[in-house]
Amino acid sequence: MPLPYVPNIPFFMHCLVETAASVNFIFNPEQLPSDTLQTSAISLYYVTLLSVSVAISSIFASCPIDRISGRVAGALSWYHLAVLYITILKLVYGDDEYGQRLGGPWVHLIAHGACWLSLVELWLRGGE
């Protein structure tokens, strides 16, 4: 028997993955660049924007899916594509500067790949 399709799952997945990242960055800020005031500010902006994306995603996770939901899914998918790109570079070039935080690059590849695929699928379907 096929599993039922639940269109809000991509938003729940984004919330799950990015809540873990946000909490990790908030409680372990030493893993973010803070060499200068500018890098500290950029890191703070990043954590804030990540948290805001979780808030937005949680709103859409609890609403019926429509065209706007599809467009928001498309916007969120670009973030995950960027993380996938960085993760692939780390795997190819062996960058292990940050070790195995949050599972390491292979876990990032799987988690963000799943988020990206599900969000893109919702986006391409037009949110319907």
Tens-place pLDDT, residues 6-33 = 789 999 999 999 999 888 888 877 776 6
Domain assignment of residue 81, given as a range: 9-124
Which residue do the tokens 């319907």 mark?
128
Is 25 among the domain residues?
yes
Query: What is the helix, strand, coil percentage profile of the chain, to 5?
Result: 75, 0, 25
Nearest to 102 by CA among 45, 32, 38, 25: 25
Residue 112 domain flag: yes
d(CA 37, CA 95): 25
Number of domains in the chain: 1
pLDDT tens digits for 64-93?
A: 899 999 999 999 999 999 999 988 988 888
Could you tell me if residue 3 is inside a domain? no
| Rg from Cα positions in the chain | 16
In a domain, 2, yes or no: no
